[in-house]
Amino acid sequence: MTRVLVLASLLLAALAVSARAQATHDAQMSAPPVPQKQGDLGTPTEEMLRRAEIKRDEESHEEMVERSDEAAQIGEEILDSFNKHKALTADDYKKLERLEKLARKIRGSAGGSDKVEVTEDAPSKIGAAVERLAELSGLLKKSVAKTSRLVISAAVIKNSSDVIELIKRIRSIKQP
């Protein structure tokens, strides 16, 4: 008989705990959400996700700055080589490919697309085109350096597109 009483009291205690847990859960579900302060990032999970997104954006922008630095350097190297040899070498054509790839990545990171307007004022002589390429790659570097990670810059997109189009033009010009 004592066993029955102990079992009955354990069963009653378990039911009471279960009922209390259900009532607490229902109260939490029906409670209005707590208003959050201005500037608060939300729940800890939302805050962690937002901070990770900010970090990823900062790293992406830093990569874009590094790419633009490399692009400007390659533009100068091609100009120096052209001035020295009075023609583009095989190594210069490899650098042109690398420069085009960098410009495409920069344009994509800046929010640009592959739809490009063909520039009509592209130089028709190889020397002038190489000089213009060095100038444009320098402008690209400056425009990327001035742009924050939070901005989509039309100047960055235009400059990178101009570099790409000029590289195509340089490839089509016959060398002396």
Q: Considering the chain, what is the average pLDDT of its residues?
A: 82
Residue 37: is its pLDDT beyond 60?
no
Spatial CA neighbour of 111 closest among 152, 140, 67: 152
Residue 49: is its pLDDT beyond 50?
yes
Residue with tokens 């592959």: 114
**Average pLDDT of the residues in 19-43:** 58
Q: Range with the lowest mean pLDDT among 16-20, 62-66, 103-107?
A: 16-20
Residue 125 tokens, joined: 């002589």
- Residue 139 CB contacts under 8 Å (≥ 6 apart), including other chains: 159
What confidence category does residue 84 fall into, taking pLDDT thresholds of 50, 70 and 90?
very high
